[in-house]
Amino acid sequence: MNNLILINVLRFFVLILLQVLVFNSFEFLRFLNPAIYILFVFLFPIRKDRTIFLVSSFFLGLFIDFFSNSGGINAASILLIAYLRIYVINFLHRNREFDFVLFHPRSLSFGKMVSYVGILTFIHQFVFYLLSNFSFHNFLNLLTKITISTIFTTILLVLSILLFEKKTK
């Protein structure tokens, strides 16, 4: 149990530094900044009491905002997907009962894992770009950006889950 706390605290800080120092200077196609830090949401253990999860997700986003001078954009978008996570998982399990304490992305089938990551990433990117643009002006262009960025970030997140997380049954 202590091990689990330590891993998540470590992941919290490593992801901040990774996002701020590496991925924020990554400017593919001039707008693409893959949001690696939302990996935190996917890997945080599921518990009945979600207070710690919501608060830590919020602060993770806020710290990223501090670094990138972006107000509360990252905090708002990561908090939303942190809140919606359990509903997405329930949806993917077709509301069947499951042991959520043992839940882990690697325990899902590949297709389900991609949709789990993809849906939440899309919501995150949608809110993120909407708040950073702060208007619906040129909405079509914005949607293209959101789509490309979602695809890119999803691939990155799925790859990191596959690479760095052990397979569980």
Partner 1 sequence: MRFIVYILLKYKFFLIFLLLESIALIFTIQSHSYHKSHFVNSANAITGGIYEQTATIEEFFVLKKENQNLANENARLKNIIARISAEKDTTNFTMVDSIYYQEYKYTVAKVVNNQYTRKNNYLTIDKGSNQGIGEDMAVVNSLGVIGITKDVGSNHATVLSILNSNSKIHAKLKNSSHYGTLLWNGESYTTAQLTDIPRQAKFGIGDTIITGGRSLLFPEGIPIGIVKDFEYDNNKYEKIDISLFNDMSALSYVDVITNLNKKELEQLEERSNDNE
CB of 10 to partner 1, least distance (A): 17
Query: Is the CB of 84 or the CB of 155 nearer to partner 1?
Result: 84
Query: Is the CB of 65 or the CB of 165 nearer to partner 1?
Result: 65
3-class SS letters over 33-100: CCCHHHHHHHHCCCCCCCHHHHHHHHHHHHHHHHHHCCCCHHHHHHHHHHHHHHHHHHHHCCCCCCCH
How many Cα atoms are found within 13 Å in the side-chain-facing hemisphere of 42?
A: 31
CB of 20 to partner 1, least distance (A): 8
Query: Is the CB of 20 or the CB of 148 nearer to partner 1?
Result: 20
CB of 53 to partner 1, least distance (A): 9
Query: Is the CB of 11 or the CB of 108 nearer to partner 1?
Result: 11
Closest-CA residue to 24 (of 59, 73, 97): 73
List residues near partner 1 by CB under 8 A. Answer: 17, 20-21, 50-51, 54-55, 58, 61-62, 65-73, 75-76, 79-80, 83, 131, 134
